[in-house]
Amino acid sequence: MTATDDLAPWIATLEELRRMPLPREEVEGDDVWGGSGPGFHVRTLGRSDGFGRSAEGDRAAEVAGRRWEETFRRFVGVLERHWGAEADGALDAMALLYDHLDGTPLPPALDWLAEHEEVGEIYLWRWPDRLVGVNLFQEDDTQPLVVVAFTSEPEP
């Protein structure tokens, strides 16, 4: 999927995650940036191409990055119209990482994302029995931008 494609597959995946039972143990899978484990599912929705460090690569990265960020924000806007404004706004990725490192109990999906250093721009919605969210992150400027969806048990 490219950043300009229709968002319907992303929405369908997120809706599927929202309805899936949450596992009680780790589940094997082939999703490079996703996984399932006790109380959570994380799935890759899309990713950009990796970026180089050359001057030409930097310009291409900037354009591609803007396109992916715009698509991600459009996706969040669709979810807000569908489910209402996100419960927490954009979560502070650094605060989440520090909480994880300090041992602060986190919902399972957020703990997993922090453990794998896959946190960026996270939006979160709450239901009585679970959290549902989306995340746009990039490990560093030579790696792709990645959009993941997740569902999790609520805070411990």
The tens digit of pLDDT for each residue in 86-117 reads: 666 677 777 888 888 888 888 898 888 888 77
The pLDDT of residue 32 is 62
Q: Residue 81, Cβ neighbours under 10 Å: how many?
A: 9
Please state the domain extents for the chain: 8-152
Residue spans of beta strands (DSSP E) within 52-130: 90-91, 121-126
* pLDDT greater than 80 at residue 140: no
* pLDDT greater than 80 at residue 1: no
Closest residue by Cα to residue 79 from 68, 66, 90: 90
pTM of the full predicted structure? 0.83
Residue 57 pLDDT grade (very low, low, confident, very high; cuts 50, 70, 90): low
